[in-house]
């Protein structure tokens, strides 16, 4: 390659970089005064997203099913100076979702940003799962976002713009054993989100598909556990807490908000999640073999008592909680996972 060719390639690269930077600056969305609606906003990632949006001048509506947790979250956000609306809403109901969006628009006069964050997670082997477990995950992770988007889109079209972020998961790109209802429904959400993005681009409504890896949001205490409850909760809560397998939820929330501002089509959060996603694309058979090994190593059938569903906090053992889960245990306290929030305590420890 001669010098002239090298120079041309360098200039072409610089030009592409400048063009990309210019495009991103043009797409950047100022949050001051914007109205954002967050489902599952009473705790965990949803609450952290609401905190960060409030700090950037957005007006925020949060919905969830638990009224007590919502009241705690609303008080936390108001203490931070937020202009906040909070009310119960079960997004699995089309009617409730439609009325919820209408209530937000009636209160604030508009809806600029929708973040579909509401989620459930169940941990346990296939032998203990029921159709109800799958239905709950599908209704929450696919129909919930669908109901909310169908309700919000007409308002965004009327405004001439909008942003939608669908919080899927790396589990929506790579199937993980003992999390089948969760991963199956998150795969569906990825497809729904990607399809909506292509349909809505003409309306200046930008849809972001968000695939986080494990986050220290404290949500492990509310996981629904079946099978050998203590053993299942132990492995799940440990990998969800270690600093080399998970990221701080505050870091994840900041990346999500940045993706919303830029209208990014896709966001995968954490190096581990990016690696898994890449392996699924370039070496799917190798990844499948690895997951087979993981599935064989996880706890097996636990007898009739394993059919009973317990929460994470009802499945504790000497391993969880312990020093291995301490980062996530503290996150649970900060992020209202127990419904007993200490106002103003939100810094990652």
Residues annotated as catalytic are 182
Cα 73 to Cα 133: distance, rounded to the nearest angstrom:
28
Beta carbons within 8 Å of 348's beta carbon, 6+ residues apart: 216, 248, 250, 331, 334
Structure tokens that stand for 230 in this block: 């203590």
Chain position carrying tokens 């349909």: 199
Q: Give helix 180-200 / helix 144-159 axis angle, nearest 10°.
A: 20
Helices (H), ranges, the chain: 3-27, 44-55, 67-79, 94-108, 131-138, 144-159, 180-200, 229-239, 249-262, 271-282, 284-297, 326-334
Q: Are 267 and 210 in contact (CB under 8 A)?
A: yes
Cα 312 to Cα 233: distance, rounded to the nearest angstrom:
6
Cβ-based neighbour number of residue 324 at 10 Å: 16
Q: CB-based burial of residue 279 (10 Å sphere; 0-12 exposed, 13-18 middle, 19+ buried)?
A: middle
């Amino acid at each position: 390659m001669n010098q002239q060719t090298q120079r041309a390639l360098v200039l072409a690269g610089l030009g592409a970089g400048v063009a990309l930077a210019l495009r991103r600056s043009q797409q950047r969305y100022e949050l001051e005064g914007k109205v954002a609606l967050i489902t599952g906003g009473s705790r965990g990632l949803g609450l952290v997203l609401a905190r960060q949006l409030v700090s950037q001048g957005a007006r925020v509506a949060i919905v969830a099913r638990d009224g007590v947790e919502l009241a705690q979250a609303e008080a936390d956000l108001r203490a931070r100076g937020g202009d906040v609306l909070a009310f119960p809403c079960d997004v699995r109901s089309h009617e409730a979702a439609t009325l919820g969006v209408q209530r937000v628009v009636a209160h604030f006069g508009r809806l600029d940003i929708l973040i579909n964050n509401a989620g459930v997670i169940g941990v346990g082997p296939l032998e203990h799962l029921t159709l109800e477990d799958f239905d709950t995950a599908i209704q929450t992770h696919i129909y919930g976002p669908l109901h909310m988007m169908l309700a919000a889109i007409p308002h965004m079209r009327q405004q001439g713009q909008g942003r939608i972020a669908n919080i899927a998961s790396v589990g929506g790109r790579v199937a993980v054993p003992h999390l089948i209802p969760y991963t199956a429904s998150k795969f569906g959400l990825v497809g729904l989100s990607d399809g909506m993005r292509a349909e809505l681009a003409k309306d200046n409504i930008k849809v972001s598909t968000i695939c986080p890896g494990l986050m220290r949001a404290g949500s492990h205490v509310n996981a629904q556990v079946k099978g050998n409850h203590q053993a299942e909760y132990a492995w799940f809560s440990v990998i969800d807490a270690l600093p080399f397998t998970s990221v701080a939820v505050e870091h994840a929330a900041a990346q999500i908000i940045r993706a919303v501002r830029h209208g990014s089509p896709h966001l995968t959060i954490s190096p581990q999640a990016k690696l898994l996603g890449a392996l699924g694309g370039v070496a799917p058979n190798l990844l499948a073999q690895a997951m087979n090994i993981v599935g064989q190593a996880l706890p097996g059938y636990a007898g009739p008592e394993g059919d009973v569903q317990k929460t994470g906090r009802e499945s504790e053992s000497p391993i969880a909680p312990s020093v291995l889960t301490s980062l996530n245990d503290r996150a649970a306290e900060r992020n209202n996972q127990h419904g007993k929030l200490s106002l103003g305590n939100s810094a990652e420890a």
